[in-house]
């Protein structure tokens, strides 16, 4: 299991959610980014409900 700093974790979440938002499937995001299906599902749920995920998913 890899250990990422909080900043690296946030960057990874942003990259994953940007890819999913742009049409990547959850299965592909899991494979490409090396994250769990549950993590992507949780991030998507927060994004879809306007929660913390949405606030952290805009890439400038």
Burial of residue 19 (CB within 10 Å: 0-12, 13-18, 19+) is middle
Domain segments of the chain as ranges: 6-55
Quickly state the pLDDT bin for 51 (edges 50, 70, 90).
low
Four-residue CA torsion sign, 22, 5, 45, 50: negative
Q: What is the pLDDT of residues 12-47, one digit of tens each?
A: 999 999 999 999 999 999 999 999 999 999 999 988
Check: pTM over 0.85? Answer yes or no. Answer: no
Quickly state the pLDDT bin for 60 (edges 50, 70, 90).
very low
């Amino acid at each position: 299991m890899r250990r990422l700093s909080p900043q690296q974790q946030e960057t990874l979440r942003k990259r994953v959610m940007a890819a999913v938002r742009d049409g990547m499937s959850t299965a592909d995001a899991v494979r490409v980014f090396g994250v769990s299906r549950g993590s992507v599902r949780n991030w998507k749920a927060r994004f879809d409900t306007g929660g913390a995920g949405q606030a952290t998913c805009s890439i400038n």
